[in-house]
Amino acid sequence: MTQRSGLIYAVSAYLLWGVLPLYFLAISAADPFEIVPWRVIFSLGFCAILLTITRTWTQVFMVFRSPRTLGLMAIAGILVYINWQVYVYAALSGHVVEASFGYFINPIVTVLLAVVLLKETLTRLQWIAIGISFIAVIVLTVTYGKLPWISIALAVSFALYGLVKKKAGIKVGAVAGLTVETTLLTPIAIIQLIIVSNTVGLSILNLSATHTWLLIGAGAVTAVPLLFFAAGARRISLTQMGLTQFLGPILQFIIGVYVLHEDMPLSRWIGFGLVWLAVIVIIIDMVLTGRQQRAANITVAPS
């Protein structure tokens, strides 16, 4: 029952992340550089309410009492801010397909960064997946006529975000972690809103009430999938969690191609075909690794 509920939570998280472009398109009257600061501020407000209800503010205070942890969380916050800004820009500028490519290669970039930064050893299948992904990036670079910087920025920023959070090594809930990150990002968000206000102008309170409420709702839209993700991660294996993560980019790809009708020439299909092949290789590696770990646990278990 626990595993079943964990899968439901995990699938729900990635389904919500997958349809996120549609939410941002609903508030496309706002400038992309206005949406992200409101997302930070209203996420902080939403998290503060949840922490008050659950009486878990001590987790937040624990982080602020550790300068090293706070510094790492600040770096994590900057990385997620970059990720959010690039993603919103992609959703509102007709690059949802390119964004989905970034999240397809994200696990592969994470593996590569683990080698470069953490000196981890890769399996043969992981090296094969990295090689195929590299070829896919070259194909898409030729197709676009430029480096697919949106894909790369999303994949690298989110992979680094995960590594920094792992480096922090703290057992803080998803809401508490997001609270710390958005608290540290709020000054940046306010400065960005001032700049937007003095250039293109702010849309909040200046358009319809629906638009304003949707901007406010960006806080919940940010926090709820994280809560589902955290609940799922506690209940299912890392392998199962890794397999469900591809639901998000699959949905984004479908929305980009079949809902938003973004251009997909044959050469781009070839590029995506290669990255999907790399994903299949990574999935096979995940499954095999999971089986080996379970076998090892059975072997060392006391009789």
Tens digits of per-residue pLDDT, 289-298? 767 766 655 5
What's the CA gap between 26 and 20, in Å, rounded? 10
Tens digits of per-residue pLDDT, 236-295? 776 677 778 889 999 999 999 999 999 999 989 999 999 999 989 988 887 887 677 666
Task: Tell me the mean pLDDT in the region 9-14.
Answer: 89
Confidence (pLDDT) at 301: 41
Range of the domain at 45: 2-300
244 vs 170 pLDDT, higher one:
244
How many structural domains are present in the chain? 1
DSSP state for residue 258 in the 8-state scheme? I
Residue 41: pLDDT over 90: yes
- The half-sphere exposure of 93 on its side-chain side, counting CA atoms within 13 A, is 13
pTM of the model: 0.88
Task: Tell me the mean pLDDT in the region 10-32.
Answer: 93
Task: Tell me the mean pLDDT in the region 65-84.
Answer: 92
What's the CA gap between 86 and 32, in Å, rounded? 9
